[in-house]
């Protein structure tokens, strides 16, 4: 079978219009066509992040991790950073910061839970932190952190608030300006619906003032080296620090145009509806979701607990039935779950297909599920 639905956690099945936008054989990074694409994309990134003109947008090569590591451009030797982590991608901040001369402390949640705003408040009130990092949606479990609530409690006690929106931007409400976030970041392959290869972020004025030659950042991911390029490109002038992912930028631009046409609010609603339909189907089958409480459910990722079946077999059989899901990666739940990614261009027919494939695959693998009940529940939701 050659045709399949990709419901991994990014990249996901791509829209052909997005892909075709990258089919260009003769465009250089100083061409007007490229500079225009970059300019449009940088401007639209502000809207996507709920930022205003005071925020500086960046689109840099790499992905979520390069965007994450680039925030070291705002830190100096000995700075204290507080990492709020709900799983594997929250822990990635610890791995990154441990490579730099910084003092790092973590507040952790158990798999399936999120760190409560009051816990963050208590720690941050010590008043010693230069930076706080939050992960909006923890992709390893599908758990959403109530970032606005956390920030409301801690804004006055920490200099910089950084939110990893890799699994949220384009699918969840994101309001960088209203929530007073200093850095909101994402990656091209997630809910934006473009191929992998770029990290996208916006920086507040306060964050921009912290960029300095004394930061702990290295060379390539030092935002001080990229800012001039971003400002020149946005104003329509070609500029160079390091070669940008030219063809990817055309695809990002097309994805942004399509998001603009869909309307950001409609896009978030679509993701909400898709996510609730997925959960309805999973629960009706008789399976449990990894996120422990409804307010922790995300619009983009659903972790599914298995009682009997081996997740690796579920994934490989599902691929042979035409749908690729994602493995579980949280070490505390190893061998007990898998993940469904539902972001980007995902629609209701994908949901029906996903639930139908899972029902027959799980039935064959001896998982105690109610065959047909998942699909019925989704259909009832859609027909109502």
Interaction site with ligand PMP (CB under 6 A)? 9-10, 63-65, 89, 92, 135, 139, 164, 166-167, 187
Whose Cβ is closer to ligand PMP: residue 38's or residue 200's? 200
The tokens for 16 are 């052909």
Long-range pairs for 225-229: beta carbons < 8 A, 24 or more residues apart: 226/58, 226/60, 226/70, 227/56, 227/58
- Comparing CA positions, the residue from 162, 83, 121, 144 lying closest to residue 294 is 144
**Separation of alpha carbons 286 and 355, rounded Å:** 12
The tokens for 312 are 């690796």
Q: Which residue's CB atom is positioned nearest to ligand PMP?
A: 64
Whose Cβ is closer to ligand PMP: residue 92's or residue 342's? 92
Whose Cβ is closer to ligand PMP: residue 284's or residue 296's? 296
**Cα–Cα distances in angstroms (integers) from residue 81 to residues 40, 65, 303, in the given order:** 34, 17, 29
Whose Cβ is closer to ligand PMP: residue 194's or residue 210's? 194
Q: Give yes or no for a contact between 156 and 33, defined as CB atoms under 8 angstroms apart.
A: no
Whole-number minimum distance, CB 186 to ligand PMP, in Å?
9
Whole-number minimum distance, CB 187 to ligand PMP, in Å?
4
Whole-number minimum distance, CB 379 to ligand PMP, in Å?
31
Alpha helices in the chain (DSSP H): 16-20, 32-48, 64-70, 88-97, 117-124, 147-154, 205-210, 223-234, 246-262, 264-285, 311-320, 348-364, 373-383
Whose Cβ is closer to ligand PMP: residue 172's or residue 367's? 172
Whole-number minimum distance, CB 360 to ligand PMP, in Å?
28
The tokens for 206 are 């306060």
Whose Cβ is closer to ligand PMP: residue 186's or residue 239's? 186
Whole-number minimum distance, CB 352 to ligand PMP, in Å?
26
The tokens for 248 are 């990817």
Whose Cβ is closer to ligand PMP: residue 10's or residue 344's? 10
Whole-number minimum distance, CB 384 to ligand PMP, in Å?
32
**Separation of alpha carbons 30 and 7, rounded Å:** 36
Whole-number minimum distance, CB 373 to ligand PMP, in Å?
31
Whole-number minimum distance, CB 364 to ligand PMP, in Å?
29
Full DSSP string of 144-191: EP-HHHHHHHHGGG-SEEEEE-TTTBTTB---TTTTT-SEEEEETTST
Q: Give yes or no for a contact between 8 and 341, defined as CB atoms under 8 angstroms apart.
A: yes
**Separation of alpha carbons 313 and 327, rounded Å:** 10
Whose Cβ is closer to ligand PMP: residue 167's or residue 353's? 167
């Amino acid at each position: 079978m050659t045709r399949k639905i990709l419901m991994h956690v990014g990249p996901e099945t791509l829209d052909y219009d997005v892909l075709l936008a990258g089919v260009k054989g003769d465009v250089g990074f100083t061409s007007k066509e490229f500079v225009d694409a970059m300019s449009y994309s940088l401007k639209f990134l502000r809207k996507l992040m709920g930022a205003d003109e005071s925020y500086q947008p960046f689109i840099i090569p790499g992905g979520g991790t390069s965007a994450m590591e680039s925030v070291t451009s705002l830190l100096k030797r000995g700075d204290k950073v507080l990492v709020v982590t709900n799983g594997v991608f929250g822990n990635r901040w610890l791995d990154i910061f441990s490579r730099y001369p910084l003092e790092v402390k973590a507040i952790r949640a158990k798999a399936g839970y999120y760190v409560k705003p009051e816990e963050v408040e208590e720690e941050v009130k010590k008043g010693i932190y230069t930076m706080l990092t939050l992960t909006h949606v923890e992709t390893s479990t599908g758990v959403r952190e109530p970032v606005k609530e956390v920030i409301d409690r801690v804004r006055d006690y920490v200099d910089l608030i950084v939110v990893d929106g890799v699994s949220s931007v384009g699918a969840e409400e994101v309001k960088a300006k209203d929530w007073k976030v200093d850095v909101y970041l994402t990656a091209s392959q997630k809910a934006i619906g473009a191929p992998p290869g770029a990290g996208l972020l916006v920086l507040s004025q306060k964050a921009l003032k912290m960029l300095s030659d004394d930061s702990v950042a290295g060379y390539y991911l030092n935002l001080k080296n990229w800012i001039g390029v971003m400002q020149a490109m946005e104003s329509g002038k070609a500029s160079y620090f390091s070669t940008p992912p030219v063809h990817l930028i055309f695809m990002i631009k097309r994805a942004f145009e399509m998001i603009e046409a869909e309307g950001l609010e409609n896009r978030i609603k679509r993701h909400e509806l898709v996510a609730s339909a997925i959960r309805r189907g999973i629960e009706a089958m008789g399976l449990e979701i990894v996120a422990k409480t409804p307010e922790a459910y995300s619009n983009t990722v659903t972790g599914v607990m298995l009682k009997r079946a081996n997740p690796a077999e579920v994934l490989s059989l599902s691929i042979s039935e035409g749908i690729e899901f994602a493995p579980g990666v949280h070490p505390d739940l190893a061998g007990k779950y898998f993940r469904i990614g539902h972001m980007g261009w995902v629609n209701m027919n994908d949901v029906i297909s996903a639930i139908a494939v899972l029902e027959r695959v799980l039935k064959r693998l001896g998982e105690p599920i109610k065959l047909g009940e998942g699909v019925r529940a989704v259909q009832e939701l859609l027909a109502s």
